[in-house]
Structure 1
């Protein structure tokens, strides 16, 4: 089957490469000539484990190509995926759908053979209706259907998620469109991946509901962590205790500095705007977004408090080493990363900040003017009055604590991901502070 993927960013590139690996003939389209040239040269625009190798293998096999020519690329395609960005709109937080609608207009103008137009981008309820209207009113005269097929990819594990999904959600109104989508995902039938066919509007809502629920779990356990610190509990024991309940589950119950990334912050805001538009307020999601925003700065204050508790005095003039900047490991994504607010809080208090991240420093640097980017972990630690673990990269899970203590100006370790055992670290002579543990 020929598939056209309009948009060669994170979702489009991963999806396109995986579809090609299934044996489909895929062309990824983007208006950015520089990006297309880089992809043709094997240079990835994002960091995702295994992606460069997957792309190279399918390009070599002739199943994957890249183009800026939408008209030529969609010719003969049975499925045309829209996988462009839907960033938060300034002012109201709603998803900016201008890119989606622009693609719909371009596709409508160039459509010559029957095709299913699939919204892979994360879009609010009713977007598919508008895409259908745009194409229909173009007067194309070609048979088409508009389908919703939201993505559920975790950055850092996107290829595995695509090939071994928990579920595939397809919102389609026509039987023939369902048949086409069945053929698109037929290679996954061997893995017995469940396909859920729904109405288009239900499908659009499923993605937002899923992300809002997961954001709620994260925020819930973070607030429980705060309570644990007050009453002398251990949030990790609490998380295990409630996670063993099958109705709750253990995932997304890891206390930390709050959620970030390309999905949760943006999607919760877009869902809230939709709820407002339909006069159906989502009070729980409202609280989640508010609490998460305040938590990031609170983690910066936690570092400042650790300095005072250890007898190091105020933050002004102190050198603080941050290990990890991206919102999660195995990605270079800095969008809404907690580290941004943490850095700002520390610098507002007069601290000097030095940081190291295995993949995120190039994207982080413009967001953090004044922060010194180190070339490795121990260079960042050297001379630091406090070392702060912000992102749980594997490279930070087994630090040589004796070396850290020797290099740092003061043995203060603030572990915002609860990677280390408090007893063991304190036995090494550190003043150790973590999240939801005493």
Structure 2
């Protein structure tokens, strides 16, 4: 099932906010993926298989904001090539940095599709996917991209890493509306007895819109919601922290940038605010927490992250261990890297199924279009693509949960395949 939950799906609005802040201040491929293959006969095609990766690597949001999926995908392909490639053929990665702009994105799409003739795109992670319609019209499969915007719930031939139930006929979602569940809020209510939740935002349009979506989901789950808004230019997080303490908030959600989050945590520590969880999302599920929140030890150890993929620190799992071994040369690790690795793995599974008749765009796309309950050997919650005529009113949805603990990093909380809830699906617009 796709994991388009209300809390995470609204991250498109937050991405726009971060841009403003930056300028202002199916089938599973087994371990045999990586086994040496017999040498191809002279008549066999040995030309490299070209795959494109588009990333907003130098966007105004910051140099490392969007690069995690790219790094994970490249690590997978490098490991695959080192062990013989795919059916004796190397994967040739063609990268393009769109600079975080729509113009740059269209330029990347044109270059990769029309000039480099890539078979597919993988692990697309961009601020403005302006070229999505061009990818779709060219019938180039885009596999395992991050749904920062609405493109993966709009266009055919685009297969987001969390799946989609929308018709994807050129119109976003259903009549312009997308739907997401409330499982994150249900989890903290059921598992930790949370009853009061605070939502902190800036007095800025994108931030306020994101906060309203979170508030909507919390109220649907019966929470008392405390809204806290700070001035965008001169945020007074100390006042927010004092009110959080007075209101007795169990949970804190936010619609502010990373720097603001660190300031908020520092203010919460200074005011002695104790919460069940300071909840963040998959994009901030990284190994850099110790440094990012170095001046807020109490708040830092109250950080929780939720997502749709297995914790990148869960090295007791064989698939995670394989990912970590292949990426041990990276300076930091993140959940987005793991999801990029899964995207590359997904492409490889599709391409492998096409090898007997020829690895073409059409064949890879047909395989992806049939994908049901793909898990990348357990790294992802089951992903599927359907085209429902009407949006679901409710769904059974699972989630991955981890919390930060100094000295241990991100610690998984339960089994993501069993942490599941039947929750309503609420409409939203990006």
Structure 1 and Structure 2 fold alike (TM over 0.5):
no
**TM-score scaled by length of structure 2:** 0.28
More helix by share: 1
**TM-score scaled by length of structure 1:** 0.28
Decide which structure has the larger Cα Rg and report it.
Answer: 1
